């Protein structure tokens, strides 16, 4: 994939898992988006959108038509990367294999786009799915199934490790415990990524950045993609503490930056847990 990498705003961290979600009137909000029009800077610049989701939830549908509305809004978005979001898991079969259903679903969307019938952009050119690293070595079977389901498009996994002392912050579908990235079984699963040339998308909160730095040092051959600029938090116990939060985030991101196998996605700063007052 080539071109400039930019990120779309991500859904709020508190979004429930697929199948159990209430209507979400705030995302996307076409009326709010229409309040302001801005001139497109460098409309010919090739862009790869590295972070979007697809789902069909009660009151909240974001499938190929909605994605096309975004990619065709005036910028030259020619490829996109899907990031796991608990969508269209298999209803039957072993629990650990259910996330493969998401890749099967997204690969279908990618095949639709590859037909050219929906324009020149190639949607879901890369697919990042989920596999439970708490399976340890046994996760290899899931990873191999994900690769097969992706038909050449599967690039890596995201296993959320979001954790904080405060109950205000979501721990996501994985409900990760404190210190998840240090767990030996979890790390045994993580070790299975590099031999398969798979990346790891790191979704965490800024106090966990030192944990990620340790993980990156322990696995220098695994490419780690840090989501949402390291998740600076601005709610709960972090509310109205921007100076302290920035200092803690800066120290953590500086430590992470010492590892050459980590890259950072610029995006997600408008999420509801964040330190910026966009809501």
pLDDT in tens, 121-171: 999 999 999 999 999 999 999 999 999 999 999 999 999 999 999 988 988
Extents of the domains making up the chain:
4-264
Q: What is the mean pLDDT of residues 8-36?
A: 53
Between β-strands 199-202 and 46-52, what pairing exists: parallel, antiparallel or unpaired? unpaired
**Residue 120: both structure tokens together:** 């020149």
Q: Which residues of 237-276 are buried (b: 16+ CB within 10 A; e: fewer)?
A: ebeeeeeebeebbeebbebbeebebbebbebbbebbbbbe
What is the CATH architecture of 4-264?
A: Alpha-Beta Barrel (3.20)
In this prediction, residue 32 carries a pLDDT of 79
| φ and ψ at residue 178, rounded to 5 degrees | -60, 135
DSSP string, 190-227: HTTTGGGT-EEEE---GGGHHHHHHHHHH-TTS-EEEG
Q: Where are the alpha helices (DSSP H) in the chain?
A: 30-33, 64-71, 100-114, 139-150, 184-190, 209-218, 242-256
Q: pLDDT tens digits, residue range 212-237? A: 999 999 999 999 999 999 999 999 99
39 SS3 class:
coil
In this prediction, residue 21 carries a pLDDT of 38
Asked whether the predicted pLDDT for residue 10 surpasses 60, the reply is: no
Give the confidence band of 274 by pLDDT, cuts at 50, 70, 90. confident
* Average predicted confidence (pLDDT) for the chain: 90
Asked whether the predicted pLDDT for residue 90 surpasses 90, the reply is: yes
Q: What's the distance, CA 3 to chain centroid?
A: 19
In this prediction, residue 231 carries a pLDDT of 95
CA–CA separation, 94 vs 131, rounded Å? 13
In this prediction, residue 276 carries a pLDDT of 82
């Amino acid at each position: 994939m080539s071109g400039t990498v930019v990120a779309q705003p991500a859904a709020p961290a508190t979004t429930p898992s697929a199948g159990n979600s209430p209507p979400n009137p705030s995302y996307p909000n076409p009326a709010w988006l229409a309040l302001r029009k801005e001139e497109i800077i460098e409309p010919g610049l090739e862009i790869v959108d590295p972070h979007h989701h697809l789902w069909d939830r009660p009151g909240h549908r974001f499938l190929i038509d909605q994605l096309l509305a975004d990619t065709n809004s005036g910028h030259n978005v020619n490829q996109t990367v899907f990031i796991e979001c608990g969508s269209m898991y298999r209803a039957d079969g072993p629990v650990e294999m259910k996330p493969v259903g998401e890749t099967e679903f997204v690969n279908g969307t990618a095949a639709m786009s590859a037909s050219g019938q929906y324009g020149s952009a190639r949607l879901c050119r890369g697919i990042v799915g989920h596999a439970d690293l708490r399976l340890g070595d046994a996760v290899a079977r899931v990873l191999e199934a994900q690769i097969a389901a992706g038909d050449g498009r599967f690039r890596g996994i995201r296993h959320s490790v979001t954790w904080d002392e405060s109950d205000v912050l979501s721990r996501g579908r994985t409900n990760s415990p404190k210190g998840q990235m240090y767990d030996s079984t979890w790390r045994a699963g993580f070790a299975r990524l590099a031999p398969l040339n798979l990346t790891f998308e790191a979704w965490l909160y800024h106090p966990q950045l030192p944990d990620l730095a340790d993980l990156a040092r322990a696995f220098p051959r695994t490419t780690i993609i840090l989501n949402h600029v390291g998740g600076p938090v601005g709610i709960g116990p972090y509310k109205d503490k921007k100076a302290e939060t920035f200092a803690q985030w800066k120290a953590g991101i500086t430590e992470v930056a010492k590892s050459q196998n980590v890259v950072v996605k610029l995006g997600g700063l408008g999420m509801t847990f964040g330190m910026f007052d966009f809501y």
